[in-house]
Structures are given as structure tokens and as C-alpha cells.
Amino acid sequence: MQFRKLKSPKSTIRNVDFTNFEVMNQAPFVLSSQNSIASNYLAEMRSLHTQNDRLRFRRNCERLGEILAYEISKNLSFKEGVVQTPLAQKEVNTLADQPVIVSILRAGVPFHMGFSNVFDNANHGFIGAYRAPEEAGKEVSIKLEYAGVPSLEGRTLILVDPMLATGSSIIQSKESLLRFGKPSEIHIAAIIAAQDGVDKVRSAIPEAKLWIGDIDPILNEKFYIVPGLGDAGDLCFGPKLSLT
């Protein structure tokens, strides 16, 4: 289903200019670089002692989505306006346009909900992606088989996936999403990322700003993040069977 593009407000007080190379390919925002309650949520998600509590794992995904959405909101465009209180009028700044939030299924569902809680009037999109059967000695390949996305033309796109390992799913998803229009801004959010994946995404999508809970140093021989936290989808929803 295609959604109507919103008209730009007449009064916008801030915009990110991606034509400026100093803005493009800027360093990722990393939650763990500064102490906050987010460190508790990240620690619980990583810990074997709490991972068996699926409700808590999903809730922590959602919480981190809310925190990263809040941080992203500081970089979006705002407009000036006036609201009427019971006593008087008050000048306010409010979000100029709601973003489009697109998540990669299935582990992205609770993470996506955190963003939805913050951007409560946003449009939403979903991508179905999975790892193809592994071949010895070859990097994992990603298959995209579903995309339900509104128009992205001139919109702020927030692409969310809790685990950024090789970066392949994010890169392929971004290329696939161009069929729905060219976004004015791209923000990519993940809970845990591998440094290799971060580097690849920054190289392939230099116009995007990355927002990450924590960055881990390596991928193992199966291209899983180490130390990571395991399979986020299984920890959210239980083990899955493969029909391939």
C-alpha cells in the first residue's frame, strides 16, 4: 500500500544536509560509549543467566529501540508552532515530519516496537530476509523475499535491525528500498554490531547515520558477532525450523 507524501512545513528550523561530506559517513553514535541505564539492558540481553526469559529479552529490545529513537529524534527537522494551554498560548517546536520506520523480520519486531512507541505517528514498513544455506569458505548471503513498505520519496527513513553482523542484510535492504522512492535522510539502528559490518555499511551507504547500542570486535567463522549475544530471533521467539 502506498501512502500519501506529506507536504513540507513552511517553517523548518533545522535540516541535515547530506551534500556536505563532513556530515556524510560520520562516526556512529554508540550508546555504550557513555554510562546510562541502557548498559543494564545490554548486559541482560548478553547474559546467559537472563536470556532464557524471552519476555525480558523482548522488552529490552523494545527499551533500546525507544532510547535510540529518542537519540535519533535530536537530529531530525523541527517546526515552530503554537499550542493553547488552559491559561495561555505557548510557542513550541515539534517534529516537522514523522519518519518511516522499516525493520527486518523477525528479530526486528520488538526493536521496531520501541521506535513505534516514540514515533507514534510514523509510517511503517517490513522486510523479510534470511540467511541462505552456508557454503564452506564463503561469506553468508542474504535472501530478501518480502517488502511491505510505504512511499519513501523525500522521507526520513529509519532502518532497524537488532544485529548488524556482516552488514549484508542492511546494504541489500537499502538497495531494495530504493524501489519505493529516494529518502531525504537515512538512519540505521542496531543493538549489537560487529566492527566489520559497521565498516562495510559506512562504505556502502555513506549518506546514512548509524545508531548502535554496542560494537563488538569480530565475527566468527560462521559470521556471527563475538561476543555478541547469540541468535536474537530465537531469543525473542524460540528456535525456528528451516525448510531448506
Which band of pLDDT confidence, cut at 50, 70 and 90, is reported for residue 239?
confident
- Is residue 200 included in any domain, yes or no? yes
Q: For residues 160 and 112, is the Cβ–Cβ distance under 8 A?
A: yes
Residue whose grid cell is 523541527:
78
Assign residue 181 a region: left if phi > 0, alpha if psi is -120 to 50, beta otherwise?
A: left
Helices (H), 74-194: 108-118, 168-177
> What would the pLDDT profile of 212-225 be if each residue is shown by its tens digit?
999 999 999 988 99
Q: Whole-angstrom Cα distance, residue 166 to residue 225?
A: 9
- Is residue 20 included in any domain, yes or no? no
Q: Whole-angstrom Cα distance, residue 243 to residue 168?
A: 22
Candidates 217, 210, 226; CA nearest to 29 is 210
Q: Whole-angstrom Cα distance, residue 16 to residue 95?
A: 14
- How confident is the model at residue 5, as a pLDDT? 36
- Is residue 214 included in any domain, yes or no? yes
- Is residue 174 included in any domain, yes or no? yes
> What would the pLDDT profile of 73-100 be if each residue is shown by its tens digit?
999 999 999 999 999 999 999 999 999 9
Query: The domain that contains 140 carries what CATH number?
Result: 3.40.50.2020
- Is residue 125 included in any domain, yes or no? yes
- Segment 180-192 mean pLDDT: 97
CA distances from residue 154 to 6, 124, 210 in whole angstroms, order as listed: 9, 15, 19
Instruction: Give the number of domains in the chain.
Output: 1
- How confident is the model at residue 106, as a pLDDT? 82
Domain that holds residue 148: 29-77+90-237
- Is residue 16 included in any domain, yes or no? no
- Is residue 12 included in any domain, yes or no? no
- Is residue 227 included in any domain, yes or no? yes
